[in-house]
């Protein structure tokens, strides 16, 4: 397996060895309950007190309290609950408290959710007000000044988790002082810890939540600072631990681990200094610029943590970028919430007013202050390898430089799809049912191949056909379906209903006002039903094709939401809608299958750039093939003609399951998928009889 380069530190970090050792020591040697009065308990108490003292020193807290808890989401709840309970009491006592709960537009979701939740539960019914940010992602201070007189609570963050943008905390504090605003103020310090010096006692901040797992401690340990005199209501009550501020027996392994991280911070020399982190960012940015032409950084470096890069690349979705980075062993995250097919734009980038395409296709690359030269060098190499793979697969346009392609290609799956038929010998292709969302991609693809577009066809009349035809420099004169009557390659009867594409024929049949295109190899200059390998059927119900196509002709629809990729007249729907029980192979079953069937083929259904960029060793061998899902329908007839067991695999098992299900539906009994994908199910090379 490709060794991992972890560049998703803002999501969570690995646990540093000193923290692991401290947690193990706490569990093995210091396992007492700090509330017990015997010696074992006293030892645990000393560990707990020592950790708290260190945290207080590091955060510059001279007075005020600091409690250990489960993490920042809990700290945020406690802070909001405390402030809102106090506000309710003050309002009940007849005091003016303001009417607004103000939070930065780029806050972590935990903040507005907690505000809305406790506001509702406590019956406060104050108005939630989103404070805008400017194009650099920093709070709009004039807008803040305007709302401060009505503000009851203010929530801002020290550094943003998606962009790394640093807030102007001093500027906000200045405004609070200048306006004499008595609002309670929470500053989410999660991404700031360990990245710059915090001096909480010198500030007017009332609450500051922290999280261990963002800085090399394990998940499940965090801290909340509460300023002396700030109101407090416990979120969890019970045995009175943490001075009754947070009941429940303390997570001592977590405390010990966090203490080890804080000790490293306090001693110095372990974490890289700011200027070194800035040079790391510069090197990564330079590699990104070389690898991904047109890359745009979504936050200004001068106002951001040096450990976070947020960027978008024209023409590439965050899913495509995530997939290629992941295949190269580089773990990054989509700067926006990504579902299988579509990415929801990042609300953080939207709040900054970045164009929609950038907000929907952003990638966040983040590392921690333990990063070293060697790791950054490896990351830069991999980034450049990703760029090369994207160029080779045509996702980064390079006119006329794509390797020749033959056969059928599907663009889009799980919804609307477009189809391309290529002929390498004549260097020509036909586009069928071009969906508007794929127009750019189709253009780039055809230009990248340097092929002549012979036709742009619709199974239904469509305005988009003419536009794409023009863009592909096709001569005018086609009918509403994009079909040209009287063309030179009309069939023997001269009815213009077939189009020759190298050795293949594309025949048009009109049914119920819709066009169906049959594709296959010519038999005596014509295309009989039995010779049609593919039929592009648009939205036509398959039953309407009875007699027109063979039982196993692959039916390629304009949407594959119901039947992924393709179907056929003889295709079986699984009886109960569930995949057959033996579809998924675990590593042991895979090995067994490979022993029994040395001719089995392992089919990598990831995109070709993912296949190219990955470590070839894990599944190397003559029988590993790359067939991205878009090429599945094109490849199936060849598999059907000479069936061998096929084991589909991808990163997670998601794409490969759909491929195996499609083959099973089409009656291909020996189609399987590797359960859990490469992430979970891949067996070491040495264990595979197939391996070279």
So which residues are the catalytic ones?
338
Distance CA 437, CA 268 (A): 52
Scanning 65-73, 390-398, 559-567, 673-681 for contacts with ligand PLP by CB under 6 A, the matching segment is: 65-73
| Residue 255 sits in the site that holds ligand PLP (CB under 6 A) | no
Task: For ligand PLP, give the closer residue by CB, 162 or 423.
Answer: 162
Choosing from 15, 102, 124, 190, the residue that interacts with ligand PLP (CB under 6 A) is 190
Q: β-strand 646-649 against 624-626: which pairing, if any?
A: unpaired
Choosing from 44, 51, 72, 545, the residue that interacts with ligand PLP (CB under 6 A) is 72
Burial of 201 (0-12, 13-18, 19+ CB in 10 A): middle
Task: For ligand PLP, give the closer residue by CB, 84 or 193.
Answer: 193
Site string for ligand PLP, 399-428 (x = CB under 6 A): ------------------------------
Task: For ligand PLP, give the closer residue by CB, 22 or 72.
Answer: 72
Choosing from 73, 119, 163, 245, the residue that interacts with ligand PLP (CB under 6 A) is 73
Of 435, 409, 438, the closest CA to residue 422 belongs to 409
| Residue 188 sits in the site that holds ligand PLP (CB under 6 A) | yes
Distance CA 335, CA 311 (A): 8
Distance CA 574, CA 569 (A): 14
Residue 311 beta carbon to ligand PLP: minimum distance, rounded to whole angstroms: 19
| Residue 222 sits in the site that holds ligand PLP (CB under 6 A) | yes
Scanning 1-9, 187-195, 461-469, 684-692 for contacts with ligand PLP by CB under 6 A, the matching segment is: 187-195
133 contacts 106 by C-beta, under 8 angstroms: yes
| Residue 211 sits in the site that holds ligand PLP (CB under 6 A) | yes
Ramachandran region, residue 394 (left: φ > 0; alpha: ψ -120 to 50; beta: rest): left
46 phi, psi to nearest 5 deg: -60, -40
Residue 190 beta carbon to ligand PLP: minimum distance, rounded to whole angstroms: 4
Residue 108 beta carbon to ligand PLP: minimum distance, rounded to whole angstroms: 3
Total site size for ligand PLP, rule CB under 6 A: 12
How many other CB atoms are there within 10 angstroms of residue 473's CB atom? Answer: 8
Burial of 243 (0-12, 13-18, 19+ CB in 10 A): exposed
Instruction: Name the residue number minimizing CB distance to ligand PLP.
Output: 71
Of 264, 371, 324, 366, the closest CA to residue 12 belongs to 366
Residue 204 beta carbon to ligand PLP: minimum distance, rounded to whole angstroms: 20
* 3-state SS class at 312: strand
Residue 72 beta carbon to ligand PLP: minimum distance, rounded to whole angstroms: 3
Scanning 84-92, 188-196, 459-467, 611-619 for contacts with ligand PLP by CB under 6 A, the matching segment is: 188-196
**Residue 139 per-residue DSSP state:** B
Task: For ligand PLP, give the closer residue by CB, 26 or 258.
Answer: 258
Task: For ligand PLP, give the closer residue by CB, 348 or 531.
Answer: 348
Distance CA 559, CA 205 (A): 55
| Residue 195 sits in the site that holds ligand PLP (CB under 6 A) | no
Residue 103 beta carbon to ligand PLP: minimum distance, rounded to whole angstroms: 12
Residue 189 beta carbon to ligand PLP: minimum distance, rounded to whole angstroms: 8
Site string for ligand PLP, 89-108 (x = CB under 6 A): -------------------x
Subset of 135-174 contacting ligand PLP (CB under 6 A): 157, 161
Residue 359 beta carbon to ligand PLP: minimum distance, rounded to whole angstroms: 18
Number of alpha carbons in the 13 Å side-chain half-sphere of residue 213: 12
Site string for ligand PLP, 3-42 (x = CB under 6 A): ----------------------------------------
Of 445, 440, 441, 472, the closest CA to residue 457 belongs to 472
Task: For ligand PLP, give the closer residue by CB, 73 or 82.
Answer: 73
Task: For ligand PLP, give the closer residue by CB, 112 or 414.
Answer: 112
Residue 71 beta carbon to ligand PLP: minimum distance, rounded to whole angstroms: 3
How many other CB atoms are there within 10 angstroms of residue 239's CB atom? Answer: 12
Matching residue, tokens 């033959």:
406
555 phi, psi to nearest 5 deg: -95, 120
Task: For ligand PLP, give the closer residue by CB, 211 or 287.
Answer: 211
Which residues is 672 bridged to in the sheet?
A: 647
456 contacts 474 by C-beta, under 8 angstroms: yes
Matching residue, tokens 């697969």:
393
Task: For ligand PLP, give the closer residue by CB, 190 or 663.
Answer: 190
439 contacts 468 by C-beta, under 8 angstroms: yes
Distance CA 457, CA 277 (A): 53
Number of alpha carbons in the 13 Å side-chain half-sphere of residue 471: 18
325 contacts 332 by C-beta, under 8 angstroms: yes
Scanning 136-144, 184-192, 309-317, 610-618 for contacts with ligand PLP by CB under 6 A, the matching segment is: 184-192
Residue 418 beta carbon to ligand PLP: minimum distance, rounded to whole angstroms: 38
418 contacts 411 by C-beta, under 8 angstroms: yes
Residues that bind ligand PLP in the complex, under the rule CB under 6 A = 71-73, 108, 110, 157, 161, 188, 190-191, 211, 222
């Amino acid at each position: 397996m490709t060794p991992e380069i972890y560049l998703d530190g803002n999501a969570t970090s690995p646990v540093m060895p000193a923290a692991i050792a401290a947690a193990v020591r706490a569990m093995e040697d210091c396992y007492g309950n700090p509330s017990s009065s015997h010696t074992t308990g006293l030892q645990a108490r000393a560990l707990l007190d020592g950790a708290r003292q260190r945290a207080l020193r590091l955060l510059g807290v001279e007075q005020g309290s600091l409690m250990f808890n489960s993490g920042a989401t809990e700290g945020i709840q406690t802070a909001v609950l405390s402030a809102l309970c106090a506000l309710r009491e003050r309002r009940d006592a007849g005091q003016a408290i303001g009417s607004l709960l103000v939070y930065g537009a780029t806050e972590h979701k935990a903040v507005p959710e907690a505000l809305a939740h406790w506001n509702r539960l406590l019956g406060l019914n104050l108005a939630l007000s989103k404070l805008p940010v400017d194009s650099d992602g920093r709070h709009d201070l004039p807008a803040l000044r305007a709302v401060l007189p009505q503000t009851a609570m203010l929530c801002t963050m020290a550094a943003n988790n998606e962009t790394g943008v640093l807030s102007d905390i001093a500027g906000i504090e200045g405004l609070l002082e200048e306006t004499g605003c008595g609002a309670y103020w929470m500053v989410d310090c999660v991404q700031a810890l360990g990245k710059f010096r915090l001096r909480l006692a010198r500030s007017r901040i009332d609450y500051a939540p922290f999280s261990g797992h963002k800085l090399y401690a394990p998940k499940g340990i965090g801290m909340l600072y509460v300023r002396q005199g700030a109101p407090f209501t416990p979120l969890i009550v019970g045995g009175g631990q943490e001075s009754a501020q947070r009941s429940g027996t303390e997570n001592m392994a977590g405390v010990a681990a966090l203490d080890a991280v804080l000790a490293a911070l306090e001693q110095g020399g372990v974490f890289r200094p700011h200027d070194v982190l800035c040079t790391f960012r510069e090197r990564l940015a330079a590699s990104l610029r070389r690898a991904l032409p047109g890359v745009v950084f979504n936050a200004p470096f001068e106002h951001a943590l040096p450990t976070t890069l947020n960027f978008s690349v024209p023409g590439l979705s965050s899913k495509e970028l995530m997939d290629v980075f992941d295949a190269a062993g580089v773990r990054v995250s989509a700067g926006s919430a990504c579902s299988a097919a579509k990415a929801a734009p990042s609300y953080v980038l939207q709040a900054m007013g970045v164009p929609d395409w950038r907000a929907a296709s952003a990638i966040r690359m983040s590392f921690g202050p333990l990063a070293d030269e060697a790791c950054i060098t490896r990351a830069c190499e991999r980034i450049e390898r990703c760029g090369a793979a994207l160029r080779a697969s045509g996702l980064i346009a390079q006119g006329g430089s794509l390797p020749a392609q033959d056969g059928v290609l599907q663009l889009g799956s799980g919804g609307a799809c477009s189809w391309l038929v290529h002929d390498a010998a004549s260097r020509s292709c036909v586009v069928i049912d071009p969906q508007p969302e794929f127009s750019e991609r189709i253009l780039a693809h055809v230009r990248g191949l340097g092929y002549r577009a012979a036709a742009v066809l619709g199974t239904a009349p469509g305005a988009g056909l003419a536009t794409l035809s023009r863009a592909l420099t096709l001569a005018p004169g086609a009918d509403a379906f994009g079909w040209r009557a009287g063309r030179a390659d009309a069939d023997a009867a001269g009815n213009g209903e077939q189009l020759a594409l190298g050795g293949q024929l594309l025949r048009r049949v009109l049914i119920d006002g819709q066009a169906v295109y049959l594709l296959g190899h010519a038999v005596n200059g014509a295309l009989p039903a039995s010779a049609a390998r593919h039929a592009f059927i648009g939205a036509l119900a398959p039953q309407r094709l009875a007699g027109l196509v063979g039982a196993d002709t692959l039916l390629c629809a304009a949407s594959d939401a119901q039947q992924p990729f393709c179907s056929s007249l003889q295709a079986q729907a699984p009886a109960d809608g569930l995949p057959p029980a033996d579809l998924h192979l675990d590593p042991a079953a895979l090995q067994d299958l490979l022993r029994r069937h040395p001719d089995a083929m392992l089919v990598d259904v990831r995109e070709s750039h993912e296949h190219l960029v990955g470590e070839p060793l894990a599944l190397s061998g003559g029988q590993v093939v790359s067939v991205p899902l878009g090429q599945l329908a094109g490849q199936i007839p060849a598999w059907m003609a000479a069936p061998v067991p096929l084991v589909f695999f991808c990163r997670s098992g998601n794409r490969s399951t759909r491929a195996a299900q499609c083959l099973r539906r089409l009656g291909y009994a020996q189609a399987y998928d590797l359960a859990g994908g490469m992430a979970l199910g891949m067996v070491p090379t040495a264990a595979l009889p197939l391996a070279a």
